Structure 1
């Protein structure tokens, strides 16, 4: 199988981002930007530990903040999934598709997307149990060494899995694949011998977008603060804007990767 070309994939990503701009921009605004903005403004505020708090108290504050945020994040994830699959459908369809048709298709695919995420979550959990739990349970110097090696292996395997399943969402959107196991199998076959190259491509783009968002967030936080009022309003805009931009860029590079591998595999022809 031919090697994945990162340069060509980036050029195709830019082409996709420029296509259907008005339609994809509208979907991104409604399904990526607005939900994040609403949660940033009206959702729970992270609990800050009191001055001089112990490590246990800080961890308790963090756990409580995470517990309060989970329902909102799950809602955002479902809404973003609908918008994401809708955008992928517009980009990858070989015939004219309206926004309504694309979103209707995305809603039908929600069970498949959730099932894929659950399967991947289970796989990552099993890997963690095999690689991390033994060292943590053993204790002592040897246990710490085993835990360190296990953590390194866990990170490496997760990175590899990221590259191997990167095209599953665009594959589902393009091939109308309702079976999550079949979608994962087909995506795994498409990325054969290219897992690390795809991971590197995704990682580099994500890193650049993440650093840019972090810098903008820090500047806004330093100027306006993060307290109630104008600070929270501006911070919410930055978070929502970053969610929309990073989301649509991630979709574009995944779709471009899928298009390249599909064409080389001889199974599809994109216009």
Structure 2
């Protein structure tokens, strides 16, 4: 199995980002930037633990904050998935495709994308249960703590590996019009065979850069304007939306470039 070339994938990602710039930028603004901006401005404010809170109280506050954010994040994910598949359709199509056709195509595949997320969520839940249950069952003892630590490390490793293995699911759906979520996942596993860790490190490095840039920008805005209601929250919303748009567009380009490299090597397809 040929090895995945990170340098070539990055170069191809930049080539894709420079193609259809106006069209993909407009889609990213509507499907990545605006939803993130709307949730930041009008969604729930993250809860902060009270001064002097115990560890249990801090964890409870974080849990409640996460729970209230889940519906909004799910909505953003679905909207972003539609925009992402639309952009992928423009980039991977072997014939001329309009923005309208690409977005209509993406809308038709919403059930498929939701199905993929449900299957991956189910697999993650099962892996979490199998790997952490021994440590949880033996909680309160040294062996239980050791088992829980080992289980957490194993879970992180499994998630990292399969992050690389399922990286091209969306491009497969967009390029081959795959409506069956199981078939899309299986094809991604086939194309990425032998390259899971290489793809993971590539995605991880890019993600770290995006997260660091977002943290720096957010920190500067928070220090200058604060995080409470008013100008501070408005500016933070703009930053979050901008990071979501740029990061989402780069992530889609990387997924497309990875797919193009693996698909060409695997099947001899020639992309426009």
TM-score normalised over the length of structure 1:
0.98
Which structure 1 residue ranges, 5 or more long, are not aligned?
A: none
Residue 136 (structure 1) aligns with: 136
Distance 1:60 1:156 in 2: 27
Instruction: Give the secondary structure class of the aligned counterpart of 1:132.
Output: helix
Residue 197 (structure 2) aligns with: 196
**Equivalences for residues 218-229 of structure 1 within 5 A:** 218-229=219-230
Residue 6 (structure 1) aligns with: 6
Distance 1:106 1:80 in 2: 11
Residue 243 (structure 1) aligns with: 244
Residue 120 (structure 1) aligns with: 120
Residue 182 (structure 1) aligns with: 183
Residue 72 (structure 1) aligns with: 72
Deviations 1:243-269 (A, max 9, x none): 111111110000000000000012421
Instruction: Give the secondary structure class of the aligned counterpart of 1:235.
Output: helix
Distance 1:149 1:267 in 2: 42
**Equivalences for residues 98-113 of structure 1 within 5 A:** 98-113=98-113
Distance 1:44 1:124 in 2: 27
Distance 1:7 1:240 in 2: 28
Instruction: Give the secondary structure class of the aligned counterpart of 1:144.
Output: helix
Q: How many residues align?
A: 271
Deviations 1:36-77 (A, max 9, x none): 101111111112222222223222322222222111111111
Instruction: Give the secondary structure class of the aligned counterpart of 2:50.
Output: coil
TM-score normalised over the length of structure 2:
0.97
Which structure 2 residue ranges, 5 or more long, are not aligned?
A: none
Residue 161 (structure 2) aligns with: 160
Instruction: Give the secondary structure class of the aligned counterpart of 1:193.
Output: coil
Distance 1:158 1:68 in 2: 25
Deviation at 1:114, TM superposition (A): 0.6
Residue 208 (structure 1) aligns with: 209
Distance 2:224 2:10 in 1: 34
